[in-house]
Structure 1
Amino acid sequence: MRRNHSCGPYARLTAHGSRLTARDRWTDPLELAPEECRELGLRDDAQKAITKQRTRRMPEDFDRGRSLEELEGLRWPVPPADTTPMVRNVYELRRRPVATLEPHELARLIGQDVGLPWLLPLAVDILRDTAPKQADGGWFDDDLLYAVITRKPEVWATAPGPAHELKETVAVLTDVSRYVRQDIDAFLSVLPGDDA
């Protein structure tokens, strides 16, 4: 069975014999190979949009009143009827204005590598704004932090500004679990020098 490295930890995999097809798994269409796009019936213009998104750098500013579908210019096909509730939720969240997403919803989307060019800067802003409260003994959203710091190094290469802000933010966190601390250390180890 082919392993699906492009999906987050909640991905649904279904094997048909020894072959796993794109239709059998949920993933961000940006992670699909061209042949998988054709297999799912995505049109050529959708395939071009996917290719464009793969090379996109994090935007400096964007209209947070728009949905991920609007920002990406890509509407995902309707999920299959037997899709898990988590996958249906991801599809629904992509249709909502980004500004209305709560931290736990951002964590879910980011954890699935969905909409990263737009959601990571927003999540880093939230983490930056709440970090001082944690340092003063307040509550901190470990789920959002975990989703953000566990993105692949390639993601942070396209987002040097948010990466630098997140580096400064995690420096003030004093009361995180040892597991989150390990993930923070792993995140910091893949960042380029102070030129970020």
Structure 2
Amino acid sequence: MDHLLHLDRTLDELDLPRWTLPAADATHLVREVHELRRVRLGKLGPADLRVLISQEVALPYVLPLTVRLLLEQPLVEASFYEGDLLLAAVSAPASAWAMLPGLNARLRAVITALSETAVADLPRGGAQELARFVARSESLR
């Protein structure tokens, strides 16, 4: 199934069951994630995708959108620094990536095409996270 065909729909529509409204005393992050589930996929930006990935929400829908963006801008700054969306993506559980082998391969290609300088400019541990993802991805082939 090509999850990118659903850009006009929301995660609440696609990733059933729909979530109920957050509790009145919910944290800002919980309220934000609930709100993002009601945004059309085509309207989700890099920061939104980073939040959803970090919270492991609807990854079969969120990761394809993320890879599509990273193909164009591998080091896009979502919220904090250049490459933060990429690092969030490679930190997604291996089980999520195993369900998306084609996207996994495309992201691996993006990562291996990055210059050494770009990788070195990532925050501490970033280069190792990318290397771990590439190694893990290659074992899935």
Tell whether 2:117 aligns with 1:171: no
From 86, 89, 100, the counterpart of 1:159 = 100
Say if 2:90 and 2:130, in contact at 8 Å, map to a contact too.
yes
TM-score under structure 2 normalisation?
0.85
Q: For 1:194 and 1:111, locate their aligned partners in 2 and report how far apart those are by CA, in whole Å.
A: 22
From 54, 60, 71, the counterpart of 1:111 = 54
How many residue pairs end up in the alignment?
131
Q: Which has the larger radius of gyration?
A: 1
Say if 2:98 and 2:140, in contact at 8 Å, map to a contact too.
no
Which amino acid counterpart does residue 73 of structure 2 have in structure 1? T
Q: For 1:73 and 1:79, locate their aligned partners in 2 and report how far apart those are by CA, in whole Å.
A: 16
Rate the CA distance shift 1:161–1:110 in 2: closer, same or farther, 3 A.
same
After superposition, the C-alpha distances for 1:102-123 in whole angstroms (9 at most, x for unaligned) are 1011000011110111110110
Say if 1:104 and 1:143, in contact at 8 Å, map to a contact too.
no
After superposition, the C-alpha distances for 1:134-157 in whole angstroms (9 at most, x for unaligned) are 6xxxx6542211110001111111
Q: For 1:102 and 1:192, locate their aligned partners in 2 and report how far apart those are by CA, in whole Å.
A: 29
Question: Unaligned regions of 5+ residues in structure 1, if any?
Answer: 1-58
Say if 2:52 and 2:58, in contact at 8 Å, map to a contact too.
yes
Which residues in structure 2 correspond to 1:82-161 (within 5 Å)? 82-131=25-74, 141-161=82-102
Which amino acid counterpart does residue 151 of structure 1 have in structure 2? A
Of all paired residues, the percent bearing the same amino acid is 34
Runs of 4+ in structure 1 displaced over 6 angstroms? none
Which amino acid counterpart does residue 157 of structure 1 have in structure 2? A
What root-mean-square deviation, in Å, do the aligned CA atoms of Structure 1 and Structure 2 show?
1.7
Tell whether 2:24 aligns with 1:77: no
TM-score under structure 1 normalisation?
0.62
Match of 2:2 in 1: 60
After superposition, the C-alpha distances for 1:67-97 in whole angstroms (9 at most, x for unaligned) are 0011123211221111111110000000010
Match of 1:187 in 2: 133
Q: Quick check: which one's helix share is greater? A: 2
Rate the CA distance shift 1:150–1:194 in 2: closer, same or farther, 3 A.
closer
